[in-house]
Structure 1
Amino acid sequence: MPGFHRRLERSAIGFVLAIIGVSAIGGFVEIAPLFTIHETVEEAPDMRLYTPLELAGRNIYIREGCYACHSQMIRTLRDEVERYGPFSLAVESRNDHPMLWGSKRTGPDLARIGGKYSDAWHVAHLVNPRDVVLESVMPRYGWLQRNRVKIDDLRQHLAAQRAVGVPYTDAMIANAVTDADAQANPDGPAAGGVTERYGAATNIRVFDGDPARLTEMDALVAYLQVLGRLTDAAHKVAAAPGR
């Protein structure tokens, strides 16, 4: 075998061909599964889309690097399922661009955090994590409650998401700015339009407790409250006979 390596390394053409061959094998292993992707991604007819406000919150989540300490993928291991809930399905990330599965858990997994705590809990936790979790090492994010959320470019954000396959309609894109403001203003005249476009299960309420201003806290809490709740596919799989 050492003699084979010496001969191969002394032949430039042979060495290049060997590299191409090994790369081709690796490429095939990576690419071939994509041709059967439709067979591996589950069906979820009830899948809802992120509203403009939730999408803005997701952008803030990415901006603040939350994915560096929190994953959004529950593995099939028993201890994870018992702690966090049903294991994650591929279809749940179908509309996530980029995906936020993560690989590190300085903090807990957030794949099923939606609805687990109240809006007030999330606000208090983000303002000062130690107020609700004494041993938390999470940084404070109190400025989110003071910063107005940027929504004037949400039409472009939704259009970009549609370009990569998220099925936002023309009406959703055209009303993105209005819908973002209306989702945190349940008593406003435009709240009904949010429900009409995004479904009756959409959370429409004052997320940060202050109806006078639309803040980054509103957006981030709105996003956290839908994690794991855009489809019931994982819960249906967990409840299926034999599981």
Structure 2
Amino acid sequence: MRELIHRKLERTAIGFVLAIILAASVGGIVEIAPLFTIDETVEDVEDMRLYTPLELAGRNIYIREGCYACHSQMIRTLRDEVERYGPFSLAVESKYDHPMLWGSKRTGPDLARVGGKYSDFWHVAHLTNPRDVVPESNMPAYAWLARTPLRLDDLGSHLEAQRSVGVPYTDEMIENAARDAFGQAVPDSEQASGVTERYGDETQVSAFDGVATRVTEMDALVAYLQVLGRLTKAAYQNTAAPEQVPDPTN
């Protein structure tokens, strides 16, 4: 009987189309319905800060190079994950991520809490030749990032695009995007002070790639990696922050 109904449905074009629409609608409702309760799902925290222009540029490079295909940024509420990576991820930590980079595959370790775990020098060495610091790594090398100047003139447009989807960048932040990116990577420059004024005292200002006279794509990517898990302390409110000890096996 079931086979008869199935065969009849397949031979009726309109009925088959309607069945497809019905099946797709069910899946769509399951995905869309939770969005109506998004305000109840995403926590509201006072200390949540925005990505700086340099960090946002690094995030764009992370996406461009496909890093999300091998690294997730979502620590699940499983004991072994919490013990390895730190407190499980909260929705608010991805509040300003467009698109989100939770990922689903871990060829490499989860990076949700990698910020501050290693030094800038470690990240540069790792990106230049991963096997220098993790001998068993199968990650490709990105040495050329240190030789590639970061494009600064369009950073204001990137911030403006983020604002159009709800990220509260101000006109002042957009106007000073290029200056702030330069200042964050060149600590002794006149522009450095403006970064902390606009993005907060906890913003890391550093010669990320080890050269304090220029801004490269390596600067941007390391700046982004160093802020992961540090945009808010919300995840640590009910637990003590673990001591960040580098673990080459991670």
Query: TM > 0.5 between the two?
Result: yes
Q: How many residues align?
A: 239
C-alpha separation in 2, matches of 1:212 and 1:100: 31
C-alpha separation in 2, matches of 1:65 and 1:11: 43
| Residue matched to 1:163 | 164
C-alpha separation in 2, matches of 1:16 and 1:126: 50
C-alpha separation in 2, matches of 1:113 and 1:149: 23
State the AA in 1 paired with 2:79: R
| Residue matched to 1:59 | 60
- List runs of 5+ in structure 2 lacking aligned partners: 241-250
Deviations 1:3-46 (A, max 9, x none): 33344445555444444433333332222111111111112221
How far has the Cα of 1:2 moved from its partner? 2.9
C-alpha separation in 2, matches of 1:16 and 1:219: 49
Report % sequence identity: 74
**Which range is displaced more, 185-194 or 106-115?**
185-194
SS in 2 for 1:201: coil
1:33-44 paired onto structure 2 within 5 Å: 33-44=34-45
C-alpha separation in 2, matches of 1:135 and 1:109: 17
- List runs of 5+ in structure 1 lacking aligned partners: none
| Residue matched to 1:102 | 103
Q: 1:7 to 1:160 in 2, by over 3 A?
A: same
| Residue matched to 2:247 | none
How far has the Cα of 1:61 moved from its partner? 1.1
1:26-37 paired onto structure 2 within 5 Å: 26-37=27-38
Q: 1:69 to 1:6 in 2, by over 3 A?
A: closer
| Residue matched to 2:228 | 227
TM-score, structure 2 length as denominator? 0.90
How far has the Cα of 1:145 moved from its partner? 1.1
| Residue matched to 1:114 | 115
State the AA in 1 paired with 2:213: A
Q: Give RMSD over aligned pairs.
A: 1.6
Whether 2:205 is the aligned partner of 1:204: answer: yes
1:1-243 paired onto structure 2 within 5 Å: 1-238=2-239
TM-score, structure 1 length as denominator? 0.92
